[in-house]
Amino acid sequence: MALPTFGRRLGGAALLAAFVLFITLPFVMVLLEAFGSEWFGMRLLPKVWTLKWFGWAAATVDIGQVLINTAVIAVLATIVSLLLAIPTAWAIARYRLPLASLLMGAILFPRMIPEITFALGVARLSYDLGLSNTYVGIALAHVILAAPFAVLVLTSTFEGMDDRLLEAGTVLGCNTAQLFRRVILPLALPGIVAAALFSFLSSYNDFVLTLMVYGPDTVTLPVQTYLSIGNGYLSVAGAISVILLVPSFLFLLLLMRMVKPENLLGGLKGA
């Protein structure tokens, strides 16, 4: 094979740069909105760099409360998602269930279709059950999105578990509860943490379903960003977007440190 010539390398680099620019440009625009001021007419960049929009955001919106709402709902959704996903994934992975692939398909279905198609159903149930504008109601709506990923990750975790270790546990004297606590749980911990992170992010990121069931007491960060854009305070919306982005980045870093992305893909393929 011929070595790439300088021209080809340059062409490749230019393509790559164009791709990165394309992906990052929306974020760049958000950052410019959030940190820039006096940005009128045909100027490419703002004239003044400032943090004042964050101050405005804090003054016009109860950012602290919105953060608390978002976090509490995400934690609730994560807990419920894991409580549902751990036994489900165990059953799919460890027992020869009839129609296991159909079951898996049904569980994944909500992630394969537009949220808006069942948003109406979620809204109706919330109102009828009196769960709209409550943490629990929004968290339960988010579980529809969070649990499928958790089941997927945990199924491949449990499938990969060495039967011999479980047998060793029982011969050595573990009853079912001890086996779960001393063997299964520690062995599955990486998978459980990954499932928890996915669940948390599914809830933290959700906008469409939240929009259907939120109320004045349960505004979350994505909804607040939308409301601020709607109010026309673009720079305040930019600042809130940045606040929204920070935890997402932290989680991404955490996830990448914990599991290699290629392993994660392998796990998804295996399920």
Task: State the residues that interact with other proteins by CB under 8 A.
Answer: 162, 164-165, 167-175, 178-179, 182-183, 186-187, 189
Using the minimum distance from each CB to other proteins, give the nearer residue, 29 or 165. Answer: 165
Q: Which of 112, 56, 11, 18 is nearest to 232 (CA)?
A: 56
Cα separation of 147 and 154, whole Å? 10
Using the minimum distance from each CB to other proteins, give the nearer residue, 248 or 263. Answer: 263
Give me the residue label for tokens 């499928």: 148
Using the minimum distance from each CB to other proteins, give the nearer residue, 30 or 192. Answer: 192
For residue 27, the minimal CB distance to other proteins (Å) is 39
Using the minimum distance from each CB to other proteins, give the nearer residue, 87 or 186. Answer: 186
Cα separation of 112 and 51, whole Å? 40
For residue 1, the minimal CB distance to other proteins (Å) is 39
CA distances to 96, 224, 227 from 231, in Å: 54, 10, 6
What b-and-e string marks burial along 38-67, b requiring 16 or more CB atoms within 10 Å of the CB?
eeeeeeeebeeeeeebbebbeeebebeebb
Using the minimum distance from each CB to other proteins, give the nearer residue, 76 or 187. Answer: 187
**Residues 6 or more apart from 218 whose CB is under 8 A from it?**
69, 73, 133, 134, 135, 138
For residue 190, the minimal CB distance to other proteins (Å) is 10
For residue 181, the minimal CB distance to other proteins (Å) is 10
For residue 168, the minimal CB distance to other proteins (Å) is 4
Using the minimum distance from each CB to other proteins, give the nearer residue, 53 or 158. Answer: 158
CA distances to 4, 24, 63, 141, 170 from 236, in Å: 48, 20, 11, 28, 59
For residue 186, the minimal CB distance to other proteins (Å) is 4
Tokens matching residue 96: 């020869």
Cα separation of 157 and 189, whole Å? 9
**Residues 6 or more apart from 41 whose CB is under 8 A from it?**
none
For residue 154, the minimal CB distance to other proteins (Å) is 17
Cα separation of 117 and 120, whole Å? 7
Tell me the HSE value of 113 on the side-chain side, using a 13 A CA sphere.
11
Using the minimum distance from each CB to other proteins, give the nearer residue, 51 or 185. Answer: 185
